[in-house]
């Protein structure tokens, strides 16, 4: 395939060299002669083990060259990878001026072609940039419409680490393509056909957000490990041994179990243990901004749910599931209970259903807690799901009990639902009568 790569910085030159190695005809494009000239001489403009050898091999084989002429590169290629920088402005926002300028140049060059051209954004851009900036720039300069056959656009985030970029290119944790057309996804996945790992085609804004989710999570992990290390050192514990043991748990610690958007955490362990750890940090005179933020962040999610319920404007509300998770009667530090209490305080007319909690009120270990601490909730707690659903103009699903999957059959026309846990069957059945707390 004939490919042009715009931007011969770190990501661009590594991508160009790997693509040429894999048999594609690659034209690198950059405004700076100090990047273009070395490539044409078989030299790498960056320092990275192995890249120089790949550039030299690509140039010697006639599969890699560089130019400052965007029109020449577009005429000689079918696919363009845009790898220009998107640095931070002083206020933290992205400076997208370079990527917009490149897209205008590409669009003008595409206008002179009669054959289709695919523009692939490898630069890191915030969600909505493809639709809000890049496509308009390309369309405005080319006079074409994205998706009309001659102009195609996609997002393809890279997951390359400095010093290990060639290895990371050849062994990606995943390959993600964001596009609106199936044939675009097929074209790009064809380029990456020999690479291992999951291959995912999704919407452009999802692909853009994935890159930020990855990098924010990596930053959180580093900050988390450092704060745990600071506490461990202060109490003379080997922090590396602690985290080595921590990382061996791939069932919970390194897993998908806690990495799904939803409602606040609760129960008998997480809130209590986070408070104990941050209190220990205070006693040791340690600043722990990440760990100290966990409880406030958790309560922000309760605030968010309260606002969503009140914004619905329904006085009569059915609340389903008040234990902190399904299949338990545990109300200790349940954020659902905290939300219910605040709704009651706002004058909302509530009816509550939770099969497990109702049984606990009769015979379980939570009986004293229900009767002594939250009797005002006990008074409006029912074991009749259909009656509770009928009570509300708005239904709030607080946990993921399987029985709630049949709610669409119990709801009358006009009733709406807010889901705090994401039950897919509800979204599918209710359409625009369904709302998720953060999806």
Q: Annotated active-site positions, please?
A: 269
Q: How many residues does the chain have?
A: 439
Q: What residues have CB less than 8 Å from 301, skipping those under 6 apart? A: 263, 264, 335, 437
- The token duo for 302 is 């309760």
Return the H-helix or E-strand segment holding 315: none
Contact 67, 73 (CB under 8 A): yes
Identify the CA nearest to 157 among candidates 129, 122, 182, 112: 122
Q: What residues have CB less than 8 Å from 135, skipping those under 6 apart? A: 146, 153
% helix, strand, coil for the chain, step of 5: 50, 15, 40
**Tally of helices (H runs) and strands (E runs) in the chain:** 21, 14
Computed on alpha carbons and rounded to an integer, the radius of gyration of the chain in Å comes to 28
Kindly state the DSSP code that residue 364 receives in the 8-state scheme: S
Contact 51, 44 (CB under 8 A): yes
Maximum pairwise Cα distance, the chain: 82
């Amino acid at each position: 395939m004939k490919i042009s790569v715009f931007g011969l910085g770190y990501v661009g030159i590594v991508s160009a060299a790997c693509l040429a190695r894999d048999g594609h005809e690659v034209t690198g494009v950059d405004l700076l002669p100090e990047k273009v000239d070395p490539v044409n001489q078989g030299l790498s403009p960056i320092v990275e083990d192995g890249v120089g050898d790949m550039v030299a091999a690509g140039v010697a084989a006639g599969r890699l060259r560089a130019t400052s002429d965007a029109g020449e590169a577009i005429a000689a290629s079918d696919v363009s990878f845009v790898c220009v920088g998107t640095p931070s402005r002083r206020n933290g926002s992205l400076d997208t001026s370079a990527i917009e300028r490149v897209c205008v140049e590409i669009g003008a060059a595409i206008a002179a072609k009669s054959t289709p051209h695919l523009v692939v954004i490898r630069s890191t851009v915030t969600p909505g940039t493809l639709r809000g900036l890049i496509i308009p720039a390309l369309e405005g300069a080319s006079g074409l419409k994205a998706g009309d056959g001659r102009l195609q656009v996609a997002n393809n985030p890279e997951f390359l680490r400095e010093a290990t970029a060639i290895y990371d290119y050849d062994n990606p944790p995943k390959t993600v393509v964001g596009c609106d057309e199936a044939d675009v996804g097929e074209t790009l996945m064809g380029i990456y056909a020999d690479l291992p790992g999951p291959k995912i085609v999704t919407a452009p804004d999802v692909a853009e957000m994935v890159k930020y989710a990855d990098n924010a999570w990596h930053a959180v992990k580093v900050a988390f490990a450092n704060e745990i290390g600071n506490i461990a050192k202060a109490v003379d514990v080997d922090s590396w041994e602690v985290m080595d043991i921590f990382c061996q748990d791939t069932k919970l610690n390194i897993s998908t179990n806690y990495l799904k958007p939803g409602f606040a955490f609760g129960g008998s362990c997480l809130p209590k243990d986070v408070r104990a750890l941050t209190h220990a940090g205070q006693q040791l005179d340690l600043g722990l901004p990440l760990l100290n933020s966990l409880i406030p962040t958790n309560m922000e999610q309760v605030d968010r749910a309260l606002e969503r319920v009140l914004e619905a404007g329904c006085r009569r509300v059915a609340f389903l599931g008040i234990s902190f998770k399904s299949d338990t009667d545990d109300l200790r530090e349940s954020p659902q209970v905290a939300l219910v209490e605040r709704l009651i305080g706002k004058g909302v007319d509530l009816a509550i259903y939770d099969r497990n909690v109702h049984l606990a009120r009769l015979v379980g270990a939570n009986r004293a807690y229900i009767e002594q601490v939250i009797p005002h909730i006990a008074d409006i707690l029912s074991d009749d799901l259909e009656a509770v659903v009928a009570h509300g103009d708005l239904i709030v699903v607080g946990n993921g009990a399987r029985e709630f999957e049949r709610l669409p059959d119990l709801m009358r026309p006009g009733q709406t639902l807010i889901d705090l846990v994401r039950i897919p069957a509800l979204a599918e059945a209710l359409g625009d009568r369904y709302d998720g707390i953060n999806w």
